Structure 1
């Protein structure tokens, strides 16, 4: 049976008694006994075998941009995929781009425009990794999301411990959802269908235009989102045709605070940290908003943010 020391000798990064507050974008989270950083598939498989033999519960996380996490000592360990299989995106020169799941979306957007590839500029303002983005069908506006550009995704199935591939149509995409959320899998890499900027006399002008569009995305987010405060982005799945921010304005709840969590005054669809927010503050605010909206509008809100607690129901076993 593998031991921690043998895993470390295999090149696996292991951190002990890690406080998740310094990792998560909400700046929430208690302490986990161990956090593992696999760098390739063999290391990942060894970590999983070790944890299962030790009967330790674990969850898969990356940049932790879309989570709020409970305080205290947590009853699971983490496999952190942010350093997995790091390689430069591979462009076939025609239409197909292969990307590691650990690639940051913001960095991929810049890489593409620097290599005269268009289609992923909308990623510029989205934090987190490509793998997490596929998992939750990240995006910005209609036609600017994973569903529009993804060809397929390669993943490790934790049930049979084999690598599989799903095509776009297999993933049953909808707003902030993919079929992967219902399975015990770890996303390894993805392929996208994109276009090159044509190599003709208009190339310079087109490249400049796409850079300006990316800059406009960034400026729009700066103006409309509370980027200076800890948050996990939009808290709830939009309950079409309703608008969460509009309902909270109508209820005069903008700026309302529970502990260190507040309803953003810039974008009421965000819960932000204003005074050392804890995971429990965030959870309480989610429940409070759900209750108020249900009572006043008879609308049930579904969290878009992953709310991670002890005995977390999506934890792998």
Structure 2
């Protein structure tokens, strides 16, 4: 397929051809995409969806690739990265953010306006869309705890609106993982709070994160979901796996729940490490570790 036809049809679109997704992923791994498009508005998103539908082109939607592994064979078709859609606005105790805005930045905007409810997100590196997609959470808080209204578009190009209840939030889950609809923007309903108290909580959570997580290395964040009755990091730590390395991927010595890129890691190294951890923990504890990180794309040829 000649994807340059997309650029000809919509010359104002920001598009790259045959570009490595490792330039955007938090692990610094991942193969090429045939096309990477960076829409700046809902209308541009719809243009890309309509074109992909007309020409039967594969279309993959990504945020800022923080809790994601793209395989070394890359992704065929069009990859739409939404990080250029990053506007944030405040109206009373509501904050509206486009899906490509960083959830960290939204939490900071809430602090600046003395609004409480998003402090837990002050260290989550994902986008707003990604945070809603997986019901992101940290330090006893989750997106589901906040009343949200979600703007989305389906693969037919129809605009939709979801309430908190419509989103069917559960642990690291939302309806968007099942219906394949694309999150465009989110309205968060927060509560007035004391600015100093909000800052104090955010500073405390930031200190906890920096002291416990290997932020000095590329990683995909928390790799596994928490199994019922267990703590993933402790299972991995007790298994003596910290420091184990496959290629350039290493189980962090600072936090056993993280796999870090210590230099030259490939996505294959990451996937093999994930499978090694799962097999080891199953053999030792009969506990199945499910991935929180999404793994997408094709194997290298």
**TM interval, short-chain normalised:** over 0.9
Confirm whether residue 149 of structure 1 aligns to residue 143 of structure 2. no
Deviation track 1:190-225 (CA, whole Å, cap 9, x = no partner) reads 12221123xxxxxxxx32232122111111101000
- Looking at structure 2, the residues matched to 61 and 110 of structure 1 have their Cα atoms a distance apart, in angstroms, of 23
> Structure 1: which 5+ runs fail to align?
198-205, 312-317
- Show the counterpart of 2:177: 181
Equivalent residues of 1:7, 1:47 under 8 A apart: no
- For normalisation by structure 1, the TM-score amounts to 0.88
Deviation track 1:251-279 (CA, whole Å, cap 9, x = no partner) reads 21111111111111111011111121110
User: Of residues 204, 214, 226 in structure 2, which corresponds to 1:238?
Assistant: 226
- For normalisation by structure 2, the TM-score amounts to 0.93
- Looking at structure 2, the residues matched to 8 and 140 of structure 1 have their Cα atoms a distance apart, in angstroms, of 40
After TM superposition, give the deviation of residue 8 of structure 1 in Å: 4.1
After TM superposition, give the deviation of residue 102 of structure 1 in Å: 1.8
- Looking at structure 2, the residues matched to 310 and 109 of structure 1 have their Cα atoms a distance apart, in angstroms, of 35
- Looking at structure 1, the residues matched to 242 and 210 of structure 2 have their Cα atoms a distance apart, in angstroms, of 19
- Show the counterpart of 2:23: 22
- Looking at structure 1, the residues matched to 236 and 95 of structure 2 have their Cα atoms a distance apart, in angstroms, of 41
Equivalent residues of 1:35, 1:79 under 8 A apart: yes
Equivalent residues of 1:3, 1:50 under 8 A apart: no
| RMSD, aligned α-carbons | 1.8
- Looking at structure 1, the residues matched to 80 and 165 of structure 2 have their Cα atoms a distance apart, in angstroms, of 28
Tell me which moved more, 279-288 or 112-121. 112-121
User: Of residues 208, 212, 217 in structure 1, which corresponds to 2:200?
Assistant: 212
Equivalent residues of 1:89, 1:100 under 8 A apart: no
Alignment length (residue pairs): 297
Change in CA separation of 1:308 and 1:73 when aligned onto 2, cut-off 3 Å:
closer
- Looking at structure 2, the residues matched to 5 and 23 of structure 1 have their Cα atoms a distance apart, in angstroms, of 21
Change in CA separation of 1:298 and 1:90 when aligned onto 2, cut-off 3 Å:
same
> Structure 2: which 5+ runs fail to align?
none
Deviation track 1:59-105 (CA, whole Å, cap 9, x = no partner) reads 10011101111114532330111112x433232x2x33322222211
Equivalent residues of 2:50, 2:157 under 8 A apart: no
Confirm whether residue 81 of structure 1 aligns to residue 78 of structure 2. no
- Looking at structure 2, the residues matched to 271 and 21 of structure 1 have their Cα atoms a distance apart, in angstroms, of 16
Confirm whether residue 126 of structure 1 aligns to residue 127 of structure 2. no
- Looking at structure 2, the residues matched to 24 and 153 of structure 1 have their Cα atoms a distance apart, in angstroms, of 25
- Looking at structure 2, the residues matched to 167 and 73 of structure 1 have their Cα atoms a distance apart, in angstroms, of 34
After TM superposition, give the deviation of residue 148 of structure 1 in Å: 0.3
- Looking at structure 2, the residues matched to 285 and 190 of structure 1 have their Cα atoms a distance apart, in angstroms, of 35
Confirm whether residue 298 of structure 1 aligns to residue 286 of structure 2. yes
